[in-house]
Structure 1
């Protein structure tokens, strides 16, 4: 299943889960677009905060999962969790739970060999992803 299929389906059954994941995905993309370093900054934060193996697995499409605690560990210092929660209108715990599912797919699509792809590609794909929600 690709990222667009996953996000379009909500990743889980249930309207509430789908709605929260859609909100978090949109809020994360919005927060990331104004975050210093963009996706490269996210990758660096994840690596520096102990998730190097996860980033490597996700970048190559391996199905290594993350826990909400690992998302907090990797992204907490960046402020992206709080910013995403504010933009999405959900709690930080909802953000970490949703990003545990969404983040591996985003990394796979926006990073090759653990390195960020061009920001233009991110913007185009981000618009496609958000288009699925609107």
Structure 2
């Protein structure tokens, strides 16, 4: 799973860079008739775009993409922290032998259960990237 998380973080970095570039160049080139291309600010150009297309463009607005990237990163951070807490508790339990600390058992159980819930979500987060180089077949969810 560590490699899958790294793969996802790389994709999120790319999406954030692309969104930043788009914000830097919030200009649309519109073609009104053959040979006539006009460059204008997006908010002006969007009035020339059919409503369904305008709605799609708005959903992929750079600030919205950046917000989604931030949410996905936060989720991956929490996942990695939970995996680390699970593994640390497991190591302490193993080191204690026949007398593990009850708190460590509780921490391990809680982290283990959280990882079990979060891991399929991490896999689903990778699903849109299945066509990209570096995506591994074993990461597919179905």
* TM-score computed with the length of structure 1 as normaliser: 0.27
Larger radius of gyration: 2
Q: What TM-score do the two structures reach when normalised by structure 2?
A: 0.26
With a CA cutoff of 8 Å and minimum separation of 6, indicate the structure with the bigger relative contact order: 1
Q: Which structure shows the bigger proportion of residues in strand conformation? A: 2
